[in-house]
Structure 1
């Protein structure tokens, strides 16, 4: 067949699917955006989903079926629900059935064109398709030959059978969107200081807890390997299921030849499990056994509450919820209903600030002044000028961005080309970011966990949002940026601002009628939300977005004369001359 998915796994997901995915991200209609992390339905709504997405029995092959009928039957059999591939294997030769590995990927297609037969090959053209890997992580749209499935059909025991099936589950988008949801598996950064969400798609229903644990046991998705680490030992597997009792206790019975865990390693493993399983609203706490023995908990007790691992919050455990911005060239900060000019040197009238970004703990800010060509760092409450330390100068400096570890990133434009800098305790140095460095990039954001960069890149066809992953060395210094991807392709429009609305979710601000109307879209940071997105329309001259990656603070549209809460539609006054405002980061 043409372009069979690799053994590494490259399932396919279509743009038509994305509308269904965003229904889980944006509330009914186009009224408002979500304010929490990955959306997973409660058990009640899952049951309702399962009534709508009723069980499907696969049909075995019939005697005398043609080549095309066998291929069509094979595709139909893969839509059995709950998922099972026993009947689908009956459409394969004995040798092919033994080797076929549909867990390597999931091909999700919007539609097929009529099959074509040529000799012993049946060709099935797919329309609009994208891919997920073996872990259920988004891999992006397919194009060209990747949209064509070729099946070699031979005769075995007097009947046509497929000899070379694609190593993937191949299913239609409507089937997929009714039965799968995007959640996150939680791993650690290389220093084990902060949790990192890795979005994946899992089946909904009563087995959600089982799917989440099984996904975590499988380790980081392929594109995250080398970026994150896990404290779940290799060699462990979960039993038939992870039952959740009436008290909300998920009982995780792990088996396998895994090394003995230290108390510290066990605590980190439990934090991963807790943050992953808290997405199932039925789960309140975990009880974990390894080969029948209880996993010891620090402080004693048998159960580990899902909210216990707050010290590893992917949005930053000590992050403030205050706002920071610029008004009349001076630093303003405070809660949304009580913004005030800073009393220190950064609030002086002659300061001439162009843009600011507060460190997640709110104690330190990075400011760009001198007409946009100098980056300085100082304390929010500093009262003397020498405490402002210059760390970079030259070119045009865009708004800087911080991660929770205190690394400062900044985009510098020189001759219309972007240079990415990172500033840490070793000083300032360039980092080559594929897809961003050397391009006409306009804005750069880093995730609080420090493992993702996203940027707006300008082009003739409009602005694109591109991303890359950050690899850290064992000491926590930035080693390199890898795995570039497109979060949102160009659509002939300009993007005015980006903001994290969750640990792995981003809001995009696009002026539709400049100065009058703006559109706010929400997307997953892995690029899984694209195509036909639901959106919120805001009237007025929106100059930016203020959003908190914890997902617990209001998402605010920043206008020159007020703040607008996207969800409640409540408004707050702002200081005169406001030109930007955002949460730390």
Structure 2
């Protein structure tokens, strides 16, 4: 490859193929570096079986600058835990300053590179600068947090020829790693780590409410150890103000611990440093519960038991998975007894969620007797109470799900001129409080009724740009999903719930929704959504000039790996449980109430029905 061509040529998008050391036990092929010619575009590797490890090749002797750049970019997408092969492409000085763990930049495709030769007066051979360009999809920061980002990406990689070896090496480069989205999907996996809600009240069994904090780690580079380290470092910045960890500040793995894995009894032993030496039994149990919940997604069957050790190797505590369920509650542990919807007589009715029942029955109590005609409802998470919105959307009623109970006056009224400008479907949080939005253009409000009663509390929403069209609160009570409408477009946004419960002044507590961010930016119109797991939602919407579709999204804005729900014509409303084992329930214009169980197709339940919901 001549220097004249190399200095002015355009490097095609670097999209990584398979990079395996030929001595590896599991091979899908061996990649070889080009001897001459321009840098070739290589198709991204499809998502491989989890047991296949992918490794990069070191720089070839007398490799030209274009080859060095390509080899380095390929090495960034390998399963090399410490990026040792990538470091071989750098000068000695660059190896000391480059931090590959500071961030991961994800582009739509691999970085597109253009080379520009820059002649140095003191170096007759010259040096090369390659400008890497692309469109960002997201950035994963040093906390492993995924942050969607559609900005343009530009970075420079500079190469120089070593005086002693005469080999080209990179001496200037951006911090972190960069790769295309398909390589990111192959290399990284989303896992929830768990903390406790700061202001949560204990459950019926004295449980502490947990909050999922999704992060991305490299799937085939000891993800269990990496997740433990991430958990010990604390929650991501966005979630930190509303959660706590039971681990003492400064707790880390004991020095010298490099890998964690289950033993033959499916127990994971976690040696900790001296910061945890003095914790008591109850606190240690809470620490172990956080670990057990975090481990659930890392192995096919989860982990049965966790043992925590002091810095001297003595046992701190042992906790089983069953005991962890007693200490900590989380969304997927709640198993609703029923699915609910509004039937053709505009009553609240229910179906058994445990046996796939198809015969709907009116709920006990006043919301099921037809005395008040309803268009939407929400059932409390304990399934003892329900809230219903009147047919015209102007009034909100709350009643007991007990036979013979009476229904009092409406607890809230909207003054909106049309039915669509009035109350949204309400939502119950894990604390037993009721949320609803008033869409009145003259007075749009997000409201909370403590325990579903009393004077509505207006929720502060700094940063909200638009009108709330729908609201769903997570089971943890610290995150809320909103469909926000502005200028004819609607977006799905997630906000953090901040509660000021200091009652020393005698004033009512204040509630705010802070740091709202879009989690489905590619959708121009979002028409329905529901929580569908500890950190996942199911969304109905369309892209610009696209058709209506249904998909899953993570609360951090990423797209979960796996199939989207099968297509459904004319879907108007969607309901999912945070227990992911339960079916989706939807309202279709053509078929009424329909249900989708795992591995099956949509099944019609009842023709005349709308507004399906699970408790929450």
TM-score, scaled relative to structure 1: 0.80
Shifted more, 498-507 versus 412-421: the winner is 412-421
Aligned to 2:290: 272
Aligned residue among 564, 587, 595 for 1:558: 587
Question: How far 1:281 sits from its partner (Å)?
Answer: 2.4
Question: How far 1:138 sits from its partner (Å)?
Answer: 1.1
Structure 1 residue runs of 5 or longer lacking an equivalent are 1-13, 18-45
Aligned to 2:459: 431
Q: Is the 8 A contact 2:446 2:468 kept in 1?
A: no
User: Which string of whole-angstrom CA distances, capped at 9 and with x for unpartnered residues, describes residues 478-498 of structure 1?
Assistant: 643222221112545x44321
Q: Is the 8 A contact 1:324 1:332 kept in 2?
A: yes
Aligned residue among 313, 330, 333 for 1:314: 330
Question: How far 1:255 sits from its partner (Å)?
Answer: 2.3
Indicate how the Cα distance of structure 1 residues 458 and 62 shifts in structure 2: closer, same or farther if over 3 A, else same.
farther
User: Which string of whole-angstrom CA distances, capped at 9 and with x for unpartnered residues, describes residues 150-192 of structure 1?
Assistant: 2455676566654553221223434332232111111111136
Aligned residue among 494, 502, 526 for 1:467: 494
Residues 470-489 of structure 1 correspond to what in structure 2 (within 5 A)?
470-473=497-500, 479-489=511-521
Q: Is the 8 A contact 1:465 1:486 kept in 2?
A: yes
Q: Distance in 1 between matches of 2:338 and 2:536?
A: 20
Q: Is the 8 A contact 1:399 1:443 kept in 2?
A: yes
1:56 equivalent to 2:74? Answer: no
Indicate how the Cα distance of structure 1 residues 370 and 534 shifts in structure 2: closer, same or farther if over 3 A, else same.
closer
Question: How far 1:579 sits from its partner (Å)?
Answer: 2.2
Aligned to 1:528: 558
Aligned to 2:156: 150
User: Which string of whole-angstrom CA distances, capped at 9 and with x for unpartnered residues, describes residues 311-357 of structure 1?
Assistant: 52321766633122222232223414342123422233331222110
Q: Aligned with 2:342: secondary structure? A: strand
Aligned residue among 233, 242, 250 for 1:227: 242
1:457 equivalent to 2:484? Answer: yes
Question: How far 1:447 sits from its partner (Å)?
Answer: 1.0
Q: Is the 8 A contact 1:495 1:511 kept in 2?
A: yes
Q: Is the 8 A contact 1:102 1:169 kept in 2?
A: yes
Aligned to 1:122: 130
**How many residue pairs get matched?**
526
Q: Distance in 2 between matches of 1:78 and 1:469?
A: 34
Aligned residue among 259, 264, 281 for 2:300: 281
Q: Distance in 1 between matches of 2:514 and 2:60?
A: 46
Aligned residue among 337, 345, 349 for 2:366: 345
Larger Rg: 2
Structure 2 residue runs of 5 or longer lacking an equivalent are 1-12, 17-46, 119-127, 201-207, 417-421, 504-508
**Structure of higher RCO (CA pairs closer than 8 Å, 6+ residues apart):** 1
Residues 249-260 of structure 1 correspond to what in structure 2 (within 5 A)?
249-258=267-276, 260=278
Aligned to 1:419: 445
Aligned to 2:527: 496
Q: Aligned with 1:182: secondary structure? A: strand
Task: Say what the alpha-carbon RMSD is for the aligned residues.
Answer: 3.5
Aligned residue among 87, 90, 97 for 1:89: 87
Q: Distance in 2 between matches of 1:388 and 1:273?
A: 47
Aligned to 1:215: 230
Question: How far 1:275 sits from its partner (Å)?
Answer: 0.5
Aligned to 2:110: 111
Indicate how the Cα distance of structure 1 residues 175 and 318 shifts in structure 2: closer, same or farther if over 3 A, else same.
closer
Indicate how the Cα distance of structure 1 residues 419 and 308 shifts in structure 2: closer, same or farther if over 3 A, else same.
same
